[in-house]
Amino acid sequence: MIICLSSLKGGSGKTTLAVHLAHAISLSKKKVILIDADPQGSSQGWAASREDKPPFPVIGMARNTLHRDLPELLENYDHCVIDTPPRVSALARTAILAADLVLIPVQPSSYDIWAASETVKLIEEAQGFKPEIIAAFVINRKITNTAISREVSEALSDYEFPLLKTTIGQRVIFSESSAGYSVMELAPGKVASTEIKQLSQEVIKMMGLQKW
């Protein structure tokens, strides 16, 4: 399965979710690869900042032919996660075309909700060429008991794409994980780790997989 994290708004948390989903998958003893399709190379930077070998390979493939080049590379892997650039571009389009599932991270903010419409248009465009692409929203950096956090769910219900039940909270540990280690490594028994595992399990169920 190929999961693409896509949002045309910068700072939505694509890289954080991409890294953590890749790690959650790798913990199930499946071979997973993280593709960094963003020229900024944030996912590659995460891997490079570790003192030891990352739990899964991270490869930079910021190329406009990703959807054609990826299948050959994935012959040796069970699953793939793609981190994408934060703007409308050929790179964003090719990453979406390569995907089985596109996850759209949305923060609880009016601007994020507005920006989601542009991402939806890009995915719908890709579905015209590849109708089997599935897409869903995931609320990221949620702040509990705030009005905007409640309103974002209502706003996203206007779109045809579903909203995942699992939400990822605004937690300091995710910022600390940018130094090369996931929350499953830094705080395996904490809420952040549980949220990521729940997200991966919901994705499994959504895609009709019994296990990774």
Q: Return the CATH number at 178.
A: 3.40.50.300
Residue 204 is predicted with a pLDDT of: 85
Asked whether residue 109 is assigned to any structural domain, the reply reads yes
Give the separation between CA 135 and CA 68, rounded to whole angstroms: 20
- What's the pLDDT tens digit per position in 148-191? 777 888 889 889 999 999 999 999 999 988 888 999 999 998 99
Residue 183 resides in a domain: yes
Tell me how far apart the alpha carbons of residues 34 and 163 are, in angstroms, rounded to a whole number: 24
Residue 212 confidence class, pLDDT cut points 50, 70, 90: very low
Predicted TM-score (pTM) of the model is 0.93
Band the pLDDT of 208: cuts 50, 70, 90.
confident
As a whole number, mean pLDDT of residues 14-43 equals 94
In this model, does residue 210 exceed pLDDT 70? Answer: no
Percent of the chain at pLDDT exceeding 90: 73
The stretches of the chain forming alpha helices (DSSP H) are 14-26, 42-48, 66-73, 90-98, 110-129, 147-156, 172-176, 183-186, 191-206
Helix/strand/coil percentages in the chain, nearest 5: 45, 15, 35
Burial grade of 140 (CB within 10 A; 0-12, 13-18, 19 or more)? buried
- Rounded to whole angstroms, the Cα distance separating 54 from 71 reads 23
Residue 212 lies in a domain: no
Residue 211: inside a domain: no
Owning domain of residue 166: 2-206
Q: In the chain, how many domains are there?
A: 1
* Confidence check: pLDDT of 114 > 90: no
Residue 199 lies in a domain: yes
Q: Pick the residue with more confidence: 159 or 115?
A: 159
Residue 7 covered by a domain: yes
